[in-house]
Each structure stands twice: as structure tokens, then as C-alpha cells.
Copies of this chain bind each other. A is one copy, B any other.
Amino acid sequence: MIPKSHPRYESLRQRELLVEGYKAGATALEGLIAFGRGEAFDYLLGEKTPDAAVEAVRAAAAMLLAAENPVVSVNGNTAVLCPEELVKLARAVEGKLEINLFYRTEKRVKAIEGILKGHGAEKVYGVKADAEIEGLDSRRRLVDREGIYSADVVFVALEDGDRTEALIKAGKKVIAVDLNPLSRTAQTASITIVDNVIRAVPLLLAAAEELRAMDREALNRIHRSFDNPSNLRKSLSEIIHGLRSMASH
């Protein structure tokens, strides 16, 4: 156990969750490397939610609430980093939870399903994976016919660029959480939240609860007025600004 007083408590706790997740069979070894990449980008953000992400979160909440069949996609890293919040998010937007893995094995699917159910999920999609997304070579193509396959809006976090592109090509809207505003996922998604998933998902949940009383027309106005390329430029400026100010200390 890491003492809460440790200056790097939050970061070390997340690292511990990932290592435990690997040992529990939920997280892939490659997921640990991907997590490390995220740590570096989060460091550049000063481990704080950028102002640009707050705007993106509001648009994302509106888009999820206005959707016909929204799906919250879960992978090995997000399942161990913020399972409870993902379960609550799917419930708040009346959406489905679906497991979708790059390094998909039955063992990992079962481990993640167990984690999500342990955090209150009633139904978890993606266990049987009876449909495919076209144009995707990786095992990420395997989806649930009633879940991602028929979704109009998919929420993804810590995603690969190929899948984001394939989902967009399949006519879906994609909301991504990605710490690198220059990544292919960030550049391709309909709405990109440039933030650590561990901060972004609770913010998104809070925004969904705040906006849920609105009618669809008002929700559509909110997310349609959001400009993703311009928001990504703002995030990048915040990163460069942060680097400059770290350099001058």
C-alpha cells in the first residue's frame, strides 16, 4: 500500500491498479506499456484536466444523452482504472457496456466481465461477440450485434487509431479519451477529451447527470456547436505552455 501522503500517491496508485490488473488476468502486458505512454502525456498536462477538456466533456455528455443506442466500450486498462465510474456512466446515459479488446482472449473477457459485474453492471456486452466491424484486422473487430455493431455513438478510452477510424467509417460517432491530442484516435474521433481517463470519466458522469433533464434538441445544439479540431489545438497549446513553464522553474 502506498501512503496517501506520498507526493506521487495518485500516479503510483494507478500504476498499482494496472499491475494488479495484469496479475488478475484483465490487463495485457502491452496495456502496461500503453499506460506508461499515458503517464508521460499526463505529466505534460501537469496531471490536471485542461480547460479544453472541460468543454469536450460537456459536448460528449450531450452527445451520449442524445444518442439512440450509446455504448461505453471497456478495455483491460479502463476496467481496472475506473470500473465503477464506467458502469455508472453507461447507466446515466441509458447506454450499454461492452468489452472490446485488442489482445482478446476468453480469459481476459471473463476477468473483465467479473470486474464490471462486481461494480454493479447488470449486463455486459461483447462477451459473445457475434458480429464484426469491417476494415479492422485486429481482434477489436469482434463486437456484439446489439452493442457496438448497432450503436450510433461509441465512447472509447485508451484506444488505437485503427479502431477509431473503422468505427467512424461504419457511420458511428466516436467519443474518445486520449491524452495525446496529436494521436490518430484524437484526430479522428468526433469528440476527443484530452485528459487522463481516471479524471475524465467522473467528469463525464457528472456532466451527464447535470444535462440529463434537457430535451434532445437542446442536447443536439450543445454537441453540434462543439468544434473538435479547434479544441484539440487548445489542448496542444496548453501542453506546450505547461512544458515552457516547467522549463522555467
Chain A residues close to B by CB (< 8 Å):
15, 18-19, 22, 29-30, 32-41, 43, 180, 182, 233, 236, 239-240, 243-244, 246-247
Contact = CB atoms under 8 A, between A and B. Distances in A.
Nearest to A236: B247
Contacts of A36: 32-40
A183 B38 CA distance: 16
Contacts of A246: 182
Label chain A's interface by main secondary structure. Answer: helix
Contacts of A33: 15, 18, 32-33, 35-36, 39
Nearest to A14: B33
Contact of A240 (B18, B37, B43, B240): B240
A233 to B, nearest CB: 7
Contacts of A30: 15, 19
Q: Count chain B CB atoms within 10 A of each CB in A19, A30, A40 and give the residue with the most.
A: A40
Nearest to A29: B19
A29 B40 contact: no
